[in-house]
Every structure is written in structure tokens, then in C-alpha cells.
Structure 1
Amino acid sequence: MEKILVLGGGFAGVETAIYLRKQNFDVILVSDRDFFYIYPTSIWIPTGEVTTEDVSVPLDALAAKHGFQLIVDPIVSFEAREKRVTLESGRVLDDFEYIVVALGQDKIRMKGMEHTLSICGKPEEATALHDRLNSLVQKSSGKIAVGFGGNPNDSSAVRGGPAFEVLFNIHNFLKKKGIRKNFELTFFAPMEKPGQKMGNKALVMLDKMLASSNIRKKVGSKIVEFVEDGIVFEDGEKIESDLTMFIAAGTGHNILMKSGLPVSEAGFVVTNEFNEIEGFDGLYAIGDSASLLGPEWRAKQGHVAEAMAKNTARNIVIKTRDIDAQYSYKKHLNILCVMDTGNGAAFVYRNNKVGRIIPLPIVGHWLKKGWGWYCRNSKLGKIPRIPGM
């Protein structure tokens, strides 16, 4: 039976390992941390609704349930042509017919980013956001700025949804505390129409949501730098902030940039629609590591990463059995999420024909909570997977 190495313990890597094991392949998954982190539900960590443990699944539990081998050891180098991986411990992995690259992405560094925290960064940053927000609550007043950046070389590498979610959750958290009027909340982004990829109708509704929540908006000017007490923009304006949450745009993973793999201008691994890295037999790149094909509004999301994972597992099976067929991820390209607001949510959907955002008062919040419970327990095999999810 072929031996397969999966690099990365996020949505793409875990899903790949699970599906390859269902086909009885010998699978090893390598991760730099010992837990699978459910980023979409980490949005509630800053307001104290959940903890890191609540949104994490031990990888050893997943390995035991599904039968793949687990190595928790950061990767220090990947020599793609030789199919050789070197780990921080010095261990070398180099005897695999197939390697699936699911290492995620790095973030574009900007001047002064040490003065910011991100909900899409390391898990400990979400906890730090909680501590900083609590400090401001103790003072009963403050200025909070939440925003995201863009990658001019790849429109898919932008994560705006979690920024809006954290912002609206903070708004409603402060309302429940009875101190919202003492806080100045600001949303910021360098592009003219942040959220545009959701569609024009969705963009109008999002603006209404910001206005009705008395959240200031600063858009359309390049971010020059972050400073200890705010953000400085190219047009000369400075937003004062006691707490700045910023989601930087993605760029290629540093290990992959030095691997010898073909990469896009933005640094992501170039693949075909079947996630094969052409010219590198037996190598695949999926999830945030891969350069996403498709329309301008395409976005790197968890459900797309999992579709890539399942298709890659199927394509490996097909290849080993010499079947003339392949699975493409292109038909799975859409924007699909429940954007939580703390007291409800908005259902966001975008494909080539429509872009909509539908308010889901109250029930939407619990719908997303339910998805988090489903994600955790279905991966652990405690409940059945819903077909197509």
C-alpha cells in the first residue's frame, strides 16, 4: 500500500488524512501544533464566550479515531523535487509515493504590526485579544479599531469576514455590559469597497449594519503603519486606538517559497484544478497553500479547502488504480458562511450568479454555534458527517 505524507494539521490537512485512511492508505500527518484549531468559531474567544480549548480538537484523538500516524514537529525545510521533509528535531521524512501540501499561508508583514493582534493568527493572539478587551471593560471606556488588509497580487488571500464578526460581537458584548456608549468602534481597510466580493447587495446591507451599530468606517486609503495608539494612513489621517485587531492578507508560506515548487506572484503553490503540481509527480497542494483558480471574487475558505482535500484523496485513489477520471475543485468555488454578530448572524452566499447577505436574527448565532459543535464531533466520529459537508 502506498505511503502518503500530509503536511499540515488544519482543515485541509486533517480532511485529507481522514479521507485517505478511508481508502486504507498508510498516512502520516505532520503538524507544528498538537491540536486542530477551529478558526471560524474562535471569533468568540475575545468576548469570553468560548476558550481556546472549546475550539480545539486534539490531533492525537483524531489520529486514534481515523488511524493515521501523527508527528508533532515543525517543518524546517521541504525539498520538493526529492520529496524530502526535514523537521525541527532533525528527523528526515523521504520515503513517500505521495505528498499533500497543506501548510496554510503566511501573513503579509506591515510596519508596526507588533502593535496589533489577529483573530486569524496564532491561537494565543485570540486569548490576548480577550485579555486586552477585558482591560478596557474594566476602565469602562476606550477606542477599538478592527480591520483587514489586502494582497494586490491575489484577491483570494483576503479574510474580511472574521473582522466583521469580531467587530459586531464586541459591539453587542459592550451593549450587554451597558457601556457601549463609552466606546468608539472603527472598522478600517485599505480598499475602496471592503466586502465587495460578497456582491453589491451584500455590500449595501453590510454598510447598513455598520451604520446602525454606530461603527465608524475608514476605507480607501493605504495603511502606512500601526503605532502603539492607533493606525496611520496614507492620506494623513490617524485613527486612535487602545486596541487594534488586524487581519493581514495572506502570502506564500515561507517553507514552500524555498521548496523549489512553482509559486504564483503572491507566493502560493501553482496547481491545476485537480490540485496536482505539474512537473512534480505525486505532489499536491491544497487549501491556503495553493494558488486558487477561478473568478476575481474567489476566496480561500474552509469548505473550499475541505473540498480540495476530498478531491485530492479521490484523485490519488484514481491514480493508484489507473482509472481515467479526475475530480476538480472548481465547482465548489463559492463564498459561503454564517457571519456571526453576537446577537444573531447574517447568511452570506456568493457564486457566479448571485451575491447575497440574509439577516438571521437570534437563530443565526445558534446556527453557527451548532456548526462548531458539528465540526468538532463529526471529525471525532461521534456523529455522522452530513453528505457534502
Structure 2
Amino acid sequence: MARVTVIGAGFGALTAVQKLRKLDPGLHIDVIAPKAEFVYLPGLIWIPVGLRSAQDLTLSLESFFRRMKVNFHPGRVTGLRESGRVVVSDNGEVENDGLIIASGGRFIKKLPGIEHAITPCEGIPAAERIRDRLAAMESGTIAFGFASNPKEPSAMRGGPMFEFLFGIDRWLRKTGRRDNFELVFFTPAEKPGQRLGEKAVKGILSTMKKRGIRTHLGHKMKRFEADKVVTEGGEFHADLIAFMPGMTGNKWFAQSGLPLSEGGMLKANGFCQVEGQERIYVAGDSGSYPGPGWMPKQAHMADLQAEAAAENLLAELGGGKPEATFKAELVCIIDSYDTGMMVYRSDKRNIVTPAFSGFHWAKRLFEWHYLREYRK
């Protein structure tokens, strides 16, 4: 019986597990991750405004792993041996005949003073810090920003920052406190949200203007201070800073012996196969893939890549060649607490809708539908 190891417990990893089990009911599947739990990261945007709690977004995977007949190994991966056939963790080693790496990315925390900023997508504790800071503030300036990895432009989390910004703006208005706060949005890019398309950029900037959100765009970041954001184009006061830096690969990639992109991600081909490697695949934020410059790092893409990776790995294990590819597709709802704007982009189309309350509820419905599999 062939043994496949999946590294990670996020979107790409769990989708890979489901696809592997569907295609091969008898396959031996090992999963390595720090905990047997799944955190629904898109829901972090609702923690600061009280629409979600840690309990709502954290799901135990024990039942899911039993149904999928998965052997779970708690631990943090530290490297690979024997050309990837052995995964080394801080809790032992796991052998495999095939490997799928879906362990996510890592935020680049090199900017001086970055300890003064909260990185929301790092997880529930970060979102709760924003919630608690907001609750303690009666007035002040709140700054929201993001940057990319200049050596890996697609490795960024811009979309959620728009959601934190617009959601908190709307929440402050609903609670009658917006006039006590100044909101500032900053990024080194001159046109924030270009990955979403030109229509989205115009819509985002127009929304900021209508809502009285000040912008500081097109200036390289220099540093943060306890109450200040400093860029090459000037500085401004901030009582609370929420900032999403660019992303790179996991630290253990450097000890993996696998090829890395200039930005530190695992180099993959169009089949999600790590370049030049036998029976080693990557899905989601861990990889650097060929495709259009706007191709996003988001859960939807991780799912598409994971399905292709699982299918191709099983083909290799059966003596065949990888043939499954993934579609470069951006699908998101930019939520604003009680409304939302839907954005879709592919090679052929770019659709941006006006803000509508129905899209907010559609995003919540999708969350319920997606998590249903793990709540069984």
C-alpha cells in the first residue's frame, strides 16, 4: 500500500486529503501539523467587530481525520531527508512514497519596529488584539496597510486588509463612534488592489474617499514606532497599526533540499509538482507557481492547487505522468461588516459588483457551507 504524507492542516492540506481519499479509498495518508485543528482564517475579519469569536472559527479535525482514515502526527516540520521520502519533525520522522506540502507561508517581519504593528492574518490572537485595542479606545487614529514581497509579488495579503478597514469603519459608524476616529490606509503601491483588477482599484479608492478614509500611497516603508508610521514619503501618527507584510516560505524550506524561488517559496510547475522532484507536490501559500501576475494567494486557489496536486501525485504513484492543471482564478467578496463587494477575475473576465448587503450574507453562508464538512 502506498503511503502519502500531507504537511499542514489548512485549506490546501485538507482539500488534498479529501481528494486523495476520494480517488483512492485504500491509500495510507499521514498528516503532519502542530495541532489537529483547522482555523477558518477568512473569518478573522469579523473578530474585531464582534461577529465572530475564536470558538466560531476553530474546529477540531479529530472526527474529520477518522472519517478520512488519516494518521495524524502532531509536530512541526523541520526538514526532509532521502530526497523527500522522509519528513523530519520535532516529534519524529514519517516516511512516505509521495508528499504534498501545504504548510502555508510566513510573514516577513524584518521592517524596523514591526513589533508595534499587529499582523491580523497571523491568526486569532492577532485579531483579538485588534478587538481589545478597539474596545479600549475612545478616540484616535487607526492605520491599516500592507506590503508585498518584492521578490515574490504574488505573496501578499491585501484583500483582508481592505476588509478590516471597511468593516471597522462601518462598525464605528453603526456604534456612533466614527467621528471620534481618523482612519488611514497606507501601502507602498500607488494603486492598491491591482491584483483585483483596475475596476476594483477605482472602486476601493472611491469607497475610501466617500468614507473619509485618508490614504498614504506609493511610498516605501521605513519603520514603525509605537505611535507612528514612517515612510520615505513622510510619516503620520497612529494609535493603532494593523499591517500585513509580504510573505515568504516556511523556515524549514531552507533545510529541505528543494528548489526555492527568489522569494523563498517552493518552485512549482503548472502541475503543482515541485520542480525536478519525484512525487513531491505543493499547494497554497507554500508554492511559487507559473501563471498571471495577478494570481492570488487565497484559500480558493489553495483548494484548486491541492486538487491538482493530489490527482497528479496518485498518477505518479500509479506509474503515470502528471496531467492535471489548475485554473488561475480570483474569487472574493470584500466584506464591510454588513455589506460586500464581489470581485471575480480570470484570464478572460474581470467582474466587480457594487456593494450589496446580500454579498455579506453570501460570505457568511459560504463559511457555513465550507465548515460543514469539518463539523460532522
TM-score (norm 1): 0.92
User: How far 1:256 moved relative to its partner?
Assistant: 0.9
Secondary structure of 1:224 counterpart? strand
Return the alpha-carbon distance in structure 2 between the equivalents of residues 366 and 222 of structure 1: 37
Q: Is the 8 A contact 1:80 1:261 kept in 2?
A: no
Question: Which residues in structure 2 correspond to 1:177-196 (within 5 Å)?
Answer: 177-196=175-194
For structure 1, the residue ranges without an aligned partner over 5 or more in a row are: 383-389
Give the one of 50, 54, 60 matched to 2:56: 54
Secondary structure of 1:157 counterpart? coil
User: How far 1:355 moved relative to its partner?
Assistant: 2.7
Q: Is the 8 A contact 1:338 1:346 kept in 2?
A: yes
Secondary structure of 2:72 counterpart? strand
AA in 1 matched with 2:352 = I
The 1:255/1:368 distance shift into structure 2, 3 A limit, reads: same
Confirm whether residue 224 of structure 1 aligns to residue 217 of structure 2.
no
Q: Deviations over 1:306-355 (max 9, x none)?
A: 111111111122223334661011xx212110110112000011122333
The sequence identity of aligned pairs, in percent, is 32
Q: Is the 8 A contact 2:100 2:310 kept in 1?
A: no
Q: Aligned pair count? A: 373
Q: Is the 8 A contact 1:12 1:302 kept in 2?
A: yes
Question: Which residues in structure 2 correspond to 1:209-358 (within 5 Å)?
Answer: 209-235=207-233, 237-323=234-320, 326-329=323-326, 332-358=327-353
Match of 1:43 in 2: 45
Q: Deviations over 1:235-280 (max 9, x none)?
A: 2x21211111111111121111221100010011111111112332
AA in 2 matched with 1:349 = Y
Give the one of 338, 347, 371 matched to 2:366: 371
Return the alpha-carbon distance in structure 2 between the equivalents of residues 360 and 339 of structure 1: 9
Secondary structure of 2:157 counterpart? coil
User: How far 1:193 moved relative to its partner?
Assistant: 1.0
The 1:182/1:346 distance shift into structure 2, 3 A limit, reads: same
Q: Is the 8 A contact 1:198 1:356 kept in 2?
A: no
Confirm whether residue 149 of structure 1 aligns to residue 147 of structure 2.
yes
AA in 2 matched with 1:47 = V
AA in 2 matched with 1:131 = D
Return the alpha-carbon distance in structure 1 between the equivalents of residues 191 and 50 of structure 2: 31
User: How far 1:129 moved relative to its partner?
Assistant: 1.3
Return the alpha-carbon distance in structure 2 between the equivalents of residues 58 and 165 of structure 1: 26
**RMSD of Structure 2 on Structure 1 (CA):** 1.5
Which piece of structure 1 moves more, 7-16 or 311-320?
Answer: 311-320
Which piece of structure 1 moves more, 289-298 or 275-284?
Answer: 275-284
